[in-house]
Amino acid sequence: MKTDTPTAMLDAQDNASSNAGMWRLLIALGLLAFLIGLPLLSKNFFVFQLTLAMVYAIAILGLNLLTGFNGQFSLGHGAFYAIGAYTAAILMDQGGISYIWTIPAAGMICFVAGFLFGLPALRLEGTYLALATFALAVAMPQILKFSPLEHWTGGVQGIVILKPDAPFGLPISQDQWLYYFTLVTLILMFAFAYNLVGSRTGRAMKAIRDNPTAAKAMGINLSLFKSLTFGVSALYVGVAGALSAIVVQFVAPDSFTFALSVILFVGLVVGGVGWIPGAFFGALFILFVPHFAEGISKGLAGAVYGIMLILLIFIMPSGAAGLLKLLLDRFAIVRRLIEGLSGRKR
Amino acid sequence: MDLFIHQVLAGLATGAIYACMALAVVMIYQAIDHFNFAQGEMAMFSTFIAWQLMQWGFPYWAAFFVTIGISFAAGVLIERAIFRPIHDAPILSHVVIFIALFVIINSFAGFIWEFTIKAFPSPFGTKPVLGEGLLSAHDAGMMAVVGIVLLLLYGFFRYTRIGLAMRAAAANPDSAKLVGVRVGWMLALGWGMAAAIGAVAGMMIAPVVFLEPNMMLSILLYGFAGAVVGGLTSPVGAVLGGFSVGVVENLAGTFIPYFGSEMKLSIALALIVAVLMVRPSGIFGRKVVTRV
């Protein structure tokens, strides 16, 4: 049979791409089944850790939208995480509002806060923006401790909130319920991110990242889109913050220091900048590697962690995304070789 | 009025600390075009080395200069060992390395010297020079040291061949390479100098804030604020910026109720954002023009 006529080749390509789509769907479904089944088979503490990992994944995704798709740096997203967490805690503690509604509220407040902070900040480029956001993150704990606000924020003490029970009398523990709640939020947020990046707005974001001058010439309103992206990114991080407040049951100024912003940033780079699923790898890294480092040496945990970080950057300068791409490329080369060989035999 | 003058002088005294740090920040920025977030920790570690030398019986000035030498070598070594291999990696990876250096240095300092607070001697004594509690001999000495470092730097960059080569390497690496400047080594030299200046800053700051692994955390932010206010391209601007941040901080603390005393860091933040909005290149900085 002759297969190299143009139409046949197109068919083959079509087949291949639909095959790839099919594979992707299968992988996604398998992953989903795995994620749903996991908490039923593991201990409560592990379920709690996984929930936290998903919370981090949402936050890193938000940071990725800003850095990976719009080319702006932020070392201060811990501040928006704090705003989200405090919004949820104050609404639940003082407003008596159900935890479910605190999440969109935190998202909206952070969107506005991010948009407003982004408005002046978009005049800044690269390093300068990183610096302004760095200052924001460092100043955040002080603002939260500010005594005239103490009535709402609880000052240094912070706020303790109660863990919600599973609704409808479901026979699962609180931790398991929060796991599923976070999982649903996570899926919604990721779906939104995929659609956003693929949309007209997403293309505008990427155009600004790749060449601001050309983007401007094409009629893209730079300042509007940059602030909007900053707002959306803050929204994601705020939602993650609100979830973390509910999951951890506690907010206090000193949980939101500059270190938190740094942790999110490390997660972003480790996962891979500009690659949406990278958020998962980043989240797992920032959650489990510090424990691992502490296991190696208690006194030098920081040093072990830092050295691992340096090695990681040396081995895969562009994060998990780069490594995966490299592996796939190798795989493709091998496959092509095999195909070539078998083709010759035929 | 008396209170005002008093506070301005006190502000200049704290400003001298920030000026030291801002100078170190600008130096490294000139050499490598990035902010070094580990700068404060490097300075802290150098100060610990000086402390250790004095514990071993070195006289102050001997320890001072030996520490500067060690810091210079360490700075060069860090560039050669860690940053040279990833020279072409994206900026974000560089920032992660800075963060990694930060935790490594902090962790090692805590491991070797523990987290207890240590007193660090001042070579100038602590007698007041300008009335009771206004400006101590150490504050005055610190300002003098900042001035001397600034003059030395000016002379170095303006009148020596190697200073010129360093400026060329930072301004335009490709052309500098073509005329025979060894760009890689200039970078390493910049790192070494920044580490040495950081060491001077650390040793000047330590008698005021006491020596411990986390001593530089907030000072670094004020140093950044000073550098941004003055302009990242200008060492003189950085020093003046550092002083003005100190004065503003002190005046706000005295004259704005509530806010000033509790929100000192937020004032630094507000200052950074305000200056960046009005004059992104800082008050004394050159505007960087890039070709599209």
For every residue of B42-83, DSSP letters joined together read HHHHHHHHHHHHHHTT--HHHHHHHHHHHHHHHHHHHIIIII
On whether both A181 and A62 belong to a single domain, the answer is: yes
3-state secondary structure of A339: helix
A310 contact residues in B (CB cutoff 8 A): 82, 97, 100-101, 104
Question: Using 50, 70 and 90 to split pLDDT, how confident is the model at A9?
Answer: very low
- 3-state SS track over A216-261: HHCCCCHHHHHHHHHHHHHHHHHHHHHHHHHHHCEECHHHCCHHHH
Q: Supply the pLDDT for residue A233.
A: 93
On whether both A228 and A104 belong to a single domain, the answer is: yes
On whether both A307 and A328 belong to a single domain, the answer is: no
What proportion of chain B, given as a percentage, has pLDDT over 70?
92
Residue B156 Rama label (left phi>0; alpha psi -120 to 50; beta): alpha
**Chain B contact probe: residue of A60, A66, A74, A138 with most B CBs at under 10 A:** A138
Residue A140 has pLDDT above 70, yes or no: yes
Residue B65 has pLDDT above 90, yes or no: yes
Q: Supply the pLDDT for residue A273.
A: 82
Q: Which residue in A has a C-alpha nearest to residue B113's C-alpha? A: A299
Name the residue facing A299 among B35, B91, B111 (closest C-beta). Answer: B111
**Distance between CA atoms of residues A134 and A124, nearest Å:** 13
Residue A13 lies in a domain: no
Distances (CA, A) of A236 to A177, A207, A229, B59, B140: 21, 22, 11, 56, 49
Q: Supply the pLDDT for residue B254.
A: 76
Nearest CA to B19 among B163, B227, B179? Answer: B227
Question: Using 50, 70 and 90 to split pLDDT, how confident is the model at B292?
Answer: low
Residue A321 has pLDDT above 70, yes or no: yes
On whether both A260 and A344 belong to a single domain, the answer is: no
Average pLDDT (B225-241) is 85
Residue B117 Rama label (left phi>0; alpha psi -120 to 50; beta): beta
| Residue A254 contacts B, CB cutoff 8 Å | no
* Torsion sign over Cα B112, B187, A134, B279: positive
Residue A123 lies in a domain: yes
**Distance between CA atoms of residues A179 and A187, nearest Å:** 12
On whether both A278 and A335 belong to a single domain, the answer is: no
Interacting residues of A211 by C-beta distance below 8 A, sequence separation 6+: none
CB within 8 Å: B101 and A306 = yes
- Give the residues across from B253 on adjacent strands: none
What is the overall mean pLDDT for chain A?
A: 81
Residue A4 has pLDDT above 80, yes or no: no
Q: Supply the pLDDT for residue A122.
A: 67
On whether both A87 and A106 belong to a single domain, the answer is: yes
CB within 8 Å: B273 and A142 = no
**Distance between CA atoms of residues B95 and B86, nearest Å:** 12
Domains of chain B by residue range: 2-278
Note the pLDDT tens digit of each residue in B136-164: 788 888 888 888 988 888 888 889 998 88
CB within 8 Å: B95 and A269 = yes
Nearest CA to A43 among A170, A179, A171? Answer: A179
On whether both A183 and A325 belong to a single domain, the answer is: no
CB within 8 Å: B85 and A148 = no
CB within 8 Å: A265 and B96 = yes
Q: Which residue in B has a C-alpha nearest to residue A73's C-alpha? A: B92
- 3-state SS track over B241-292: HHHHHHHHHHHHHHHCCCHHHHCHHHHHHHHHHHHHHHCCCCCCCCCCCCCC
3-state secondary structure of A103: helix
Residue A170 has pLDDT above 80, yes or no: no
Name the residue facing A302 among B92, B106, B266 (closest C-beta). Answer: B106
| Residue A124 contacts B, CB cutoff 8 Å | yes
- Residue A101, min C-alpha distance to chain B (Å): 31
CATH code given to domain B2-278: 1.10.3470
| Residue A156 DSSP code | G
Residue B67 has pLDDT above 90, yes or no: yes
**Distance between CA atoms of residues A129 and A73, nearest Å:** 6
CB within 8 Å: B99 and A121 = no
Q: Which residue in A has a C-alpha nearest to residue B269's C-alpha? A: A135
On whether both A101 and A226 belong to a single domain, the answer is: yes
- CATH number, position A161: 1.10.3470
Kindly provide the ipTM of the predicted complex, given to two decimals.
Answer: 0.76
Q: Which residue in the block uniquely carries the two structure tokens 């500010």?
A: A146
Residue B15 has pLDDT above 60, yes or no: yes
User: Could you write out the DSSP letters of every residue in A188-220?
Assistant: HHHHHHHHHHHSHHHHHHHHHHH-HHHHHHTT-
Spatial contact of A61 and A253, defined as CB atoms under 8 Å apart = no
Say what angle helices A77-93 and A222-248 make with each other, to 10 degrees: 50
The larger pLDDT score, comparing residue A338 to residue B107, is at B107
Note the pLDDT tens digit of each residue in B159-210: 999 888 888 887 788 888 898 888 888 888 888 988 898 899 889 888 888 8
Name the residue facing B93 among A135, A302, A313 (closest C-beta). Answer: A313
Spatial contact of A230 and A114, defined as CB atoms under 8 Å apart = yes
Residue A145 lies in a domain: yes
Q: Supply the pLDDT for residue A7.
A: 47
Residue A161 lies in a domain: yes
Spatial contact of A42 and A103, defined as CB atoms under 8 Å apart = no
On whether both A223 and A339 belong to a single domain, the answer is: no
What proportion of chain A, given as a percentage, has pLDDT over 70?
89
CB within 8 Å: B97 and A305 = no
Residue A22 lies in a domain: no
Note the pLDDT tens digit of each residue in A66-116: 888 888 888 888 899 999 999 988 888 887 788 888 889 999 999 999 888
On whether both A259 and A217 belong to a single domain, the answer is: yes
Domain that holds residue A87: 44-315
Note the pLDDT tens digit of each residue in A182-216: 998 998 999 999 899 889 888 998 898 888 888 88
Least confident of A314-323, B153-162, B279-288: B279-288
CB within 8 Å: A139 and B266 = yes
Residue A27 lies in a domain: no
Average pLDDT (A47-63) is 91
| Residue A104 contacts B, CB cutoff 8 Å | no
Name the residue facing A148 among B102, B258, B269 (closest C-beta). Answer: B258
Tokens of A56: 């981090």
- Residue A274, min C-alpha distance to chain B (Å): 12
Q: State the total domains in chain A.
A: 2
CB within 8 Å: B99 and A305 = no
Residue A38 has pLDDT above 70, yes or no: yes
On whether both A175 and A307 belong to a single domain, the answer is: yes
Residue A17 lies in a domain: no
Residue A37 lies in a domain: no
Note the pLDDT tens digit of each residue in A265-317: 888 888 888 888 888 888 888 888 888 887 887 778 888 888 888 888 888 77
**Distance between CA atoms of residues A205 and B276, nearest Å:** 24
Q: Supply the pLDDT for residue B288.
A: 61
Nearest CA to A315 among B171, B78, B85, B43? Answer: B85
On whether both A332 and A255 belong to a single domain, the answer is: no
Q: Which residue in B has a C-alpha nearest to residue A213's C-alpha? A: B292
Interacting residues of A95 by C-beta distance below 8 A, sequence separation 6+: none
CB within 8 Å: A303 and B103 = yes
Average pLDDT (A207-236) is 88
Question: Using 50, 70 and 90 to split pLDDT, how confident is the model at B232?
Answer: confident
User: Alpha-carbon dihedral of residues B71, B73, B78, B84, nearest 10 degrees?
Assistant: 150
- Residue A332, min C-alpha distance to chain B (Å): 25
- Residue B180, min C-alpha distance to chain A (Å): 29
- Residue B127, min C-alpha distance to chain A (Å): 34
Average pLDDT (B21-35) is 79
Q: How far apart are the two ends of chain B, measured CA to CA in Å?
A: 52
**Distance between CA atoms of residues A23 and A30, nearest Å:** 10
Residue A55 has pLDDT above 90, yes or no: yes
Average pLDDT (A160-179) is 77
Residue A322 has pLDDT above 80, yes or no: no
User: Quick count: other Cβ atoms within 10 Å of Cβ A64?
Assistant: 26
CB within 8 Å: B86 and A131 = no
A147 contact residues in B (CB cutoff 8 A): 258, 262
- Residue B143, min C-alpha distance to chain A (Å): 26
3-state secondary structure of A62: helix
